Amino acid sequence: MQTRKLLDWWQTLTPIARIGASALFAPLLVLNGWAISAIFNYFHSLIAILVGASVLAFLLNYPVSWMERRGARREQVAILVFLLALSILLALGVTLFPLALTQAQQLVARLPELIDSGRSQLMILNEKAESMGLPINLDAIVVQINDRVKGQLQAIAGQVLNLAVVTVTSLLDFLLTMVLTFYLLQHGGELWESLVEWLPTRFREPFSRTVRLSFQNFFISQLILSICMASALIPSFLWLKVPYGLLFGLTIGIMALIPFGGSVGIAATTLLVSLQDVWMGARVLAAAVIVQQILENLIAPRILGSFTGLNPVWVLISVLTGARIGGLLGVIVAVPCAVVIKTIISAIRPPVMRHDPEESSSGEIVAPMTPEESAKAEVNNSLSVSDNLA
């Protein structure tokens, strides 16, 4: 009611009065933003542990809830699922991660050699272009590769390796994350209910459903796509005898957890392989693009649908903002958070600003559709979920 009165009051203001009110309110926003940023930077490590544990508990809650609905006791099932997930993580950490880390160290050691090889290939291409009379001069590109790219790639690779080493050696953070994940898996529902109680009664259930569906659709779908991408690319690269095939396939699969991350990983992998062998780089690009298109056009619509309701530009802006604020974890949670924010804004904005006749005018928060509901809506009504969220 108070929000509605505030919006009605805002509508009564003249344009000049709105500009003046915004000008007076802007410094408060800047000051609050600076204070929140300072607090976030101070507690960054703790927040990272909380977010990581919350994401893990959120994902593990689905098999626990599924077994609980079939009569199993939650405490026993939670322990079983947690131990199984921990065993899988430890198995991957003992088998795949050391091999990938070894290949990463070898790749970093060979970067100067690969860059020199790429420069030589560009020089050969430049000579062929001159012999054919084509007006192409690659000398400037060769000089830039020699002077700049080498140092930048080595610096980036060194940062990646340092991040990997810090991640491995930070056993305390890992243990804290696992312990917190276990307790959230046991009592996360009670904690969430205590937080939602701060909201008005009519917003509690819609808000909870919006948050749950937004994070569920995003994390489950991206996790499935990431696993499928890595599972398909690693054997493909090994069959093509791509150097560091395990590292490249695993990297692209992990980057597929992030929107547009798979495409960036494919481009970077193709570039690195092409520095040594252009034709091998072309085969890598072809194999990766084929796998990506199969996943995005055949598998993704079935498990993901169009749940976000966000323009791709806003998705990209959300990812970049999340990276700037929270690093890797910020990138992971950026899109579902953006969906929740968009849904809340759509629910509280004045009816005059609503253009969708299908949209509810009651001011209630309308949760995103599940993938099944999205698919049915697209078949029966030829409407996307974005229309339902707009």
345-367 pLDDT per residue, tens? 776 665 544 444 444 444 444 44
**What count of other Cβ atoms lies within 10 Å of the Cβ of residue 382?**
8
Tell me: do 308 and 355 sit in the same domain.
Answer: yes
Question: At which of 125, 156, 191 does a domain end?
Answer: 191
Tell me: do 226 and 340 sit in the same domain.
Answer: yes
Contacts of 250 (CB under 8 A, 6+ apart): 96, 100, 230, 234
Q: Sorting pLDDT into bands at 50, 70 and 90, what band is 286?
A: very high
Tell me: do 209 and 187 sit in the same domain.
Answer: no
Tell me: do 96 and 174 sit in the same domain.
Answer: yes
Tell me: do 369 and 250 sit in the same domain.
Answer: yes
269 is a domain residue: yes
Structure confidence by residue, pLDDT tens digits, 141-169: 666 656 666 555 555 555 555 555 555 55
388 vs 230: which has the higher pLDDT: 230
Structure confidence by residue, pLDDT tens digits, 46-105: 888 888 888 888 888 888 888 888 888 888 888 898 899 888 888 887 887 788 878 887
Q: How far apart are the first and last CA of the chain?
A: 22
Tell me: do 169 and 229 sit in the same domain.
Answer: no
Tell me: do 163 and 247 sit in the same domain.
Answer: no
Q: Which of 26-30, 111-115, 220-224, 323-327 has the highest mean pLDDT?
A: 220-224
- Dihedral pair phi/psi, residue 367, rounded to 5°: -75, 155
132 SS3 class: coil
Tell me: do 318 and 361 sit in the same domain.
Answer: yes
Tell me which residue range forms the domain holding 94: 43-191
Question: At which of 191, 220, 240 does a domain end?
Answer: 191
| CA dist 74 → 12, 188, 192, 212 (Å) | 53, 12, 17, 19
Q: Sorting pLDDT into bands at 50, 70 and 90, what band is 134?
A: low
Q: Which of 115-124, 235-244, 361-370 has the highest mean pLDDT?
A: 235-244
Number of domains in the chain: 2
- Give which of 268, 214, 223, 226 is closest to 244, Cα–Cα: 268
21 is a domain residue: no
Tell me: do 157 and 232 sit in the same domain.
Answer: no
Alpha carbon distance 102, 346 (integer Å): 49
pLDDT at 182 over 60: yes
Q: Which two tokens stand for residue 37?
A: 């940023």
Contacts of 343 (CB under 8 A, 6+ apart): 210, 214, 309, 365, 366, 367, 368, 389
257 SS3 class: coil
At 64 the pLDDT is 86
Tell me: do 167 and 213 sit in the same domain.
Answer: no
Structure confidence by residue, pLDDT tens digits, 194-233: 887 887 777 778 788 878 777 777 887 788 888 888 889 9
258 DSSP assignment: S
13 DSSP assignment: S
162 is a domain residue: yes
